[in-house]
Structure 1
């Protein structure tokens, strides 16, 4: 199992309620998000970036599972409750190239600690998009505006769905997911990420 460095505590940042000054502006006035939650602060060339690179590009799924269990435990202690956890999906071509979705182990770890079901295929990415990394806020929005769909609307009807991903930057991808979930019948949508990037 991948050993997480003790010093990672130096980079902790948790948004325990929606409306956090650091997270909420990404969604203000657009899609109603119940809770905006992140576990760690993402700093360039920092320990959190290193961890996420291990998870995303080095096949270290344990990183996501461990962080998901830790964060899920903290949220459970704060009495957060969700009906279903759904990871942000990769396009099938990118999934085939990478071998797995880096958001899946995080979702799995959170589901274990929160004792909440999770569904790896609750959302489907129906269009391949360019990388978001070097895009500005508007370009990110345009890049993901209509690329997701709910695979089984009956599964999310009347539920509070938690959408999880690796990093929160502008929030464009997460909001696109939230929009289709709400349109398909979810009563509430919250988001949780491993890390939040300074903007």
Structure 2
């Protein structure tokens, strides 16, 4: 087994998602140097935290949390870019495991009935081959045992990436972007957790919540890997 691992590392070296350097045998996803400098939010399950307040007045949010702060050009930005565009499927799940492990101890997942990752449009999904938010949610599910629900919400428009849009353009770009399916009726009186890779203006997650808002008794919480505070 060790010989096979050495063979893979020689021909397919594992590299740090933060700085790009080769990972040592005992390192995973990011090197120890980058790990020590990662900007953890420490939000945990704190009621009324800054991330939760970002959604106040938009929809009745139960709770919100994120593992890292996001800054353009930083290690977290490099990690997210690799997850989104370079086929790092295993890393997406590992980050979901990590996120869940950190937040489980705070009770953040208590009472959550199902996980709903922000969906991609089918055309974008075929092009990319995977949904990074979906894989992140899979990693959370593996760690917590909370089931996934991937058939209740659909993306109705194949809109362009939000990356280079202003805050106002992001809100315009998400108007009517998602729709609840007939399967969403099963979410009545349940507490769902929307899962996405990064929170910026909150436009995308608010659009998801709006699409589900007509379901009787639904309660909505939000979790992301990173938050651009």
Same fold (TM over 0.5): yes
Select which of 18, 22, 26 maps to 2:54.
Answer: 26
Q: How do residues 136-175 of structure 1 correspond to structure 2 at under 5 angstroms?
A: 136-151=166-181, 152-175=183-206
Gaps of 5+ in 2: 1-13, 16-27
RMSD between aligned residues:
1.8
Please give the per-residue CA displacement for 1:3-41, whole angstroms capped at 9, x wherever unaligned: 2223234221142234222x2453221211111111111
Gaps of 5+ in 1: none
Matched residue, 1:45: 73
Matched residue, 2:24: none
Please give the alpha-carbon distance, in whole angstroms, between the structure 2 residues aligned to 1:50 and 1:25.
27
Matched residue, 2:226: 195
Please give the alpha-carbon distance, in whole angstroms, between the structure 2 residues aligned to 1:100 and 1:179.
25
CA shift for structure 1 position 195: 0.5
1:177 aligns with 2:208: yes
Matched residue, 1:8: 35
Select which of 119, 129, 133 maps to 1:103.
Answer: 133
State the SS of the aligned residue for 1:86.
strand
Please give the alpha-carbon distance, in whole angstroms, between the structure 2 residues aligned to 1:79 and 1:24.
16
Matched residue, 1:122: 152
On the 8 A contact 2:96/2:138 being kept in 1, the answer is yes
> Structure 1 residues 14, 63: CA separation in 2 closer, same or farther (over 3 Å shift)?
farther
Q: Which has the larger radius of gyration?
A: 2
Q: How many residues align?
A: 197
Please give the alpha-carbon distance, in whole angstroms, between the structure 1 residues aligned to 2:186 and 2:61.
19
Please give the alpha-carbon distance, in whole angstroms, between the structure 2 residues aligned to 1:105 and 1:55.
10
Please give the alpha-carbon distance, in whole angstroms, between the structure 2 residues aligned to 1:8 and 1:41.
13
Q: TM-score, normalised by structure 2?
A: 0.80
Please give the per-residue CA displacement for 1:69-124, whole angstroms capped at 9, x wherever unaligned: 12112222212221000100011111111111110111001112121001233310
1:69 aligns with 2:97: yes
> Structure 1 residues 132, 182: CA separation in 2 closer, same or farther (over 3 Å shift)?
same
State the SS of the aligned residue for 2:213.
helix
Matched residue, 2:20: none
Q: TM-score, normalised by structure 1?
A: 0.91
* Greater alpha carbon shift after TM alignment, 129-138 vs 141-150: 129-138
